[in-house]
Amino acid sequence: MAGVEFVDVRKSFGAFPVIKGVNIEIADGEFVILVGPSGCGKSTLLRMLAGLENISAGEIRIGNRVVNGVAPGDRDIAMVFQNYALYPHMSVAQNMAFSLMLKRSPKADMDQRVKKAADILGLTKLLDRYPRQLSGGQRQRVAMGRAIVRDPQVFLFDEPLSNLDAKLRVAMRAEIKGLHQRLGTTTVYVTHDQIEAMTMADKIVVMHDGVVEQVGRPLELYDKPANLFVAGFIGSPA
Ligand code: ADP
Ligand code: MG
């Protein structure tokens, strides 16, 4: 495992600044949620951590390593996206093994990792099914399985539940938290849903228009919002 650090990170698209000097420290094993309204820069920040987007200035560290310029595949992270398209022509097991196949992992090692991930996620009996034969929640679990098999130092989630119906969303929150309790992997989780943030996070980072407004435990933000923006955002219904 490893912690993560953003040091005065900036990003512009053309002349348009979208991340304006962000500092965040995430401890080893912490479950941190980046929350804020749509367009405030959450996905951009996560994509920079994943190496899918260059950073314009500043430094990103994973563990003790500065990863600016390190290719996504060499960052030892795994990302679960909002639109977790599974490969329709591959079984659950093949979907989970695919990234390992690309890395040419030995078959025995691959099988063992898939088996372990399936066990953790309750997918053992579904390994031979195809995505169209799965419920929404099961598909979501396969998407997480694809990340788990890689045994990364850091998990990244970008609004993984926003396409699910309300009931399933609540159930999956508990599953993701359970997974974190079991594996203890440092997790950076993005959502625009303040209820999700308040119920899941060890630590919340409230973003607004490319800056961090406040960092704190859920109850700290609730009891002592740093400003009107945080008070309004955390206090308003989802
Ligand atoms: P969030 O995930 O918080 O909704 P994003 O990080 O997706 O926000 O976007 C932050 C800002 O950056 C938005 O104004 C968005 O339009 C802009 N943006 C994101 N990606 C690009 C891009 N590839 N090119 C230009 N502008 C972008
Ligand atoms: Mg986003």
pLDDT tens for the chain, residues 1 to 238: 789 999 999 999 999 999 999 999 999 999 999 999 999 999 999 999 999 999 999 999 999 899 999 999 899 999 987 666 899 999 999 999 998 888 788 899 999 999 999 999 999 999 999 999 999 889 989 999 999 999 999 999 999 888 888 888 898 899 899 999 999 999 999 999 999 999 999 999 999 999 999 999 999 999 999 999 999 998 765 5
* pLDDT for position 55: 96
Give the residue among 54, 26, 13, 6 at the shortest CA–CA distance from 185: 26
Ligand 1 binding pocket includes 38 (Cβ within 6 Å): yes
pTM of the predicted protein model: 0.93
* pLDDT for position 237: 57
State how far Cα 30 lies from the chain centre. Answer: 12
Nearest ligand 1 atom to the CA of 47 is 6
Long-range contacts of 164-172 (CB under 8 A, 24+ apart): 164/136, 164/137, 164/140, 165/136, 168/136, 168/137, 168/140, 169/196, 171/137, 172/137, 172/140
User: Residue 160: nearest ligand to its CA?
Assistant: 2
* pLDDT for position 94: 95
Show the tokens assigned to 55.
């950073």
Nearest CA to ligand 1 atom 25: 13
Tell me the CA–centroid distance for residue 77 and ligand 1, in Å: 22
Nearest ligand 1 atom to the CA of 40 is 3
Extended beta strands in 64-194, E state: 65-66, 77-80, 154-158, 186-191
Show the tokens assigned to 163.
């396409």
Nearest CA to ligand 1 atom 26: 13
Give the single-character DSSP code of 163.
T
Tell me the CA–centroid distance for residue 55 and ligand 1, in Å: 13
Q: In what order do the strands lie in the sheet with 4-13?
A: 16-26, 4-13, 57-62, 65-66
∠ CA 83-181-76, nearest 5°, is 55
* pLDDT for position 152: 94
User: Residue 36: nearest ligand to its CA?
Assistant: 1
Tell me the CA–centroid distance for residue 158 and ligand 2, in Å: 7
Place of tokens 């599974």: 86
Nearest CA to ligand 1 atom 10: 41
Ligand 1 binding pocket includes 44 (Cβ within 6 Å): yes
* pLDDT for position 236: 65
Ligand 1 binding pocket includes 39 (Cβ within 6 Å): yes
Give the residue among 126, 119, 133 at the shortest CA–CA distance from 89: 133
* pLDDT for position 136: 86
Ligand 1 binding pocket includes 211 (Cβ within 6 Å): no
Show the tokens assigned to 225.
């919002």
